[in-house]
Amino acid sequence: MIYNFYSEFVGRWWEVNFCWANLDQSYRTTIAMAVWLNSFVLSGVMYHCGLLLVLLDLSLDVVGSVSQLEIDRHLELGREFLAKGQLQDALSHYHAAVEGDPNNYLTYYKRGTVYLALGKAKFALLDLDKVLELKPDFTSARLQRGNVLLKQAQFKKAEENFQSVLAVEPHNEDALNALYKIGSAEEDLTVVDRLISYGDYAAAAQQITRIIETCPWAVELRERRAECYEALDDYMSAISDVRSTTKLQSDNTNGYFKLASLLYRLGQVEESLKEIRECLKLDPEHSKCFSFYKKVKKIVKLLADAQTSEEARDYDGCIVSAQPVLKLEPNVGNVRFLAYQLLCKCYSGNSDTSQAINNCQEALKLRKEPGVYCDSAEAYLAAEMFDDAMREFKEALEIDPSLQRAKQGLHKAQQRQKLSESRDYYKILGVSRTASKRDIIKAYRKAAQKWHPDNFQEGDEKKRAEKRFIDIAAAKEVLTDDDKRAKFDQGEDPLDPESGSHQYGSNPFQEFHHFHGSPFQFKFHFN
């Protein structure tokens, strides 16, 4: 029976030894106890309890021991990496040194110093607490702990540490200066409370900034300043402060939720989605974050689909994707702006000028951006509302005087208005500006047959028909020639001698043949 117990003991001992080096001391003891208890029960030798405890104690000594030489080597490497500024490498070696000798207060102190250099105040405080637990009279550690607490704006705890230092060293200048800073910061906080109660958020933000210079790791102070900035509609500054709180406090789910909310209010929906995902990484069950995540994810997808469709000139698809955004988000203007802006462009692309103008104007109510003014102007131009188009292009130039799109658009609108007062070849043939060449020729044939002068008796009717017939021939000449049509679309009449592009002597009736006497007494062939 003893032999069986010993065999069981050896097998279990190697199981523990296999993973021992990677476990903390507390876990080691727990696992070892569980293993030996299991061996004890399996062996059935209850009366060998005393022997088992002795063997367990011996095994812990053997497995848990690390040579002092190895500990010193880790400390030396930690010091070298720290001197080189390789903080993570230094931290790894100090971890190993602490593991090897968990009762060495100096090793904890050195590791705490590295944590501070990495900005990990929470872990630095834990190490400093351990240092003072092992050596309560270590003044440097107490002073360091007081400074960390001061930077976190934990004034009462910081003051206790500095007073303890002064009890031992009454003239310690660092402790005295720190106590002065605490008193000044507490007075400033009183002023902040008063300013906020008066609604003077700008002055309150400035006052908090002064305190943060002393307490740069204080999450609560940055949260309060962010609230002041938010009240002032300075969302970018608020976002900067909230982002800092998520770095100072790694498990700050509320900070990530706030950050995502602020970015969303600015219309930065993709960035908002990114931050709300960080919240869910920390806490997948966070109700507010999860609910917000579902909404933002859907809006990001719809806007992305609308943008892709607009770029591909699939204007119907763009409209189908953008419209639901307005229903999903009835309140936040910057998000609604993104939908209105896309609808403005896509309705213009669909030649639905009325809807295009309406959506452009809704977008401009929310954000007066030069690009949207140009979109709106082009919608007015397509509707032949030239005065409105010129007004919008001028508004764009007021914001950005160097914007070439607005300059060219204004010139185009002015030329188009000038043309509208003379001949509009599209109107003459009764076709839209997006009509194909085939549609133009078809409309030309129909109009030419209707208005051919031979169809009219001598007199005013025939004269009107002759003029109309000349315009029809000119319209066909311009709109079926790609170069001439492009010039006309830019606001220039290629058949106007004053424009410099029309060649004198050209015959708009070159399409017709077999003249007989009067220029209108002929039979002609349609191309």
How would residue 164 be classed by pLDDT, with cut points 50, 70 and 90?
very high
For 61-107, where are the E strands, in sequence order? none
Return the sign of the alpha-carbon dihedral for residues 360, 366, 372, 374: positive
Q: Which tokens is 40 given?
A: 């004890």
Cα separation values, 25 from 22, 29, 52, 90, 112, Å: 10, 6, 20, 21, 19
Closest to 334 in 3D by CA, of 271, 378, 241:
271
**How many Cα neighbours within 13 Å face the side chain of 459?**
4
∠ CA 20-22-27, rounded to 5°: 65
- Over 50: is that where the pLDDT of 23 sits? no
pLDDT tens digits, 466-476: 888 888 998 89
Return the sign of the alpha-carbon dihedral for residues 100, 106, 109, 110: negative
How would residue 250 be classed by pLDDT, with cut points 50, 70 and 90?
confident
Of the chain, the percentage scoring pLDDT greater than 70 comes to: 81
> What's the average model confidence in pLDDT over 344-362?
94
Cα separation values, 514 from 202, 280, 465, 520, 521, Å: 86, 83, 20, 10, 9
- Over 90: is that where the pLDDT of 146 sits? yes
Look at residue 65 in the predicted model and tell me its pLDDT.
55
How many residues comprise the chain? 527
How would residue 33 be classed by pLDDT, with cut points 50, 70 and 90?
very low
> What's the average model confidence in pLDDT over 149-158?
96
pLDDT tens digits, 433-456: 888 989 999 999 998 898 888 888
- Over 90: is that where the pLDDT of 62 sits? no
Distance in angstroms (rounded) separating the CA atoms of residues 10 and 2:
12
The SS3 of residue 520 is strand
Look at residue 185 in the predicted model and tell me its pLDDT.
96
> What's the average model confidence in pLDDT over 184-213?
96
pLDDT tens digits, 104-140: 999 999 999 999 998 889 999 999 999 999 999 999 9
Q: What is the DSSP annotation of 272-321?
A: HHHHHHHHHHH-TT-HHHHHHHHHHHHHHHHHHHHHHHHHTT-HHHHHHH
Look at residue 21 in the predicted model and tell me its pLDDT.
42
Of the chain, the percentage scoring pLDDT greater than 90 comes to: 64
pLDDT tens digits, 365-414: 999 999 999 999 999 998 889 999 999 999 999 999 999 999 999 999 99
- Over 70: is that where the pLDDT of 12 sits? no
Look at residue 155 in the predicted model and tell me its pLDDT.
96
Helical packing angle, 219-231 and 253-265, nearest 10°: 20
Look at residue 229 in the predicted model and tell me its pLDDT.
97
Taking the mean position of all CA atoms in its chain, how far away is CA 423?
Answer: 50
Question: Structural domains in the chain?
Answer: 68-187 (1.25.40.10), 251-352 (1.25.40), 368-422 (1.25.40), 426-490 (1.10.287.110)
Amino acid making up residue 223: E
Return the sign of the alpha-carbon dihedral for residues 463, 468, 471, 477: negative
**Of 15-29, 230-244, 284-298, which range is least confident?**
15-29
Helical packing angle, 105-117 and 68-84, nearest 10°: 20
Look at residue 496 in the predicted model and tell me its pLDDT.
74
Distance in angstroms (rounded) separating the CA atoms of residues 474 and 440:
12
How would residue 10 be classed by pLDDT, with cut points 50, 70 and 90?
very low
**Of 190-199, 254-263, 482-491, 501-510, which range is least confident?**
501-510
How would residue 214 be classed by pLDDT, with cut points 50, 70 and 90?
very high
For residue 99, what is the enclosing H or E element? helix 87-100
Q: What dihedral angle (degrees, nearest 10) is formed by the CA atoms of 294, 296, 297, 298?
A: 90
How would residue 63 be classed by pLDDT, with cut points 50, 70 and 90?
very low
Contacts 24+ apart (CB under 8 A), 276-282: 278/246, 279/253, 282/251, 282/253, 282/256
More confident residue, 274 or 524: 274
- Over 60: is that where the pLDDT of 8 sits? no
- Average per-residue pLDDT for the chain: 84
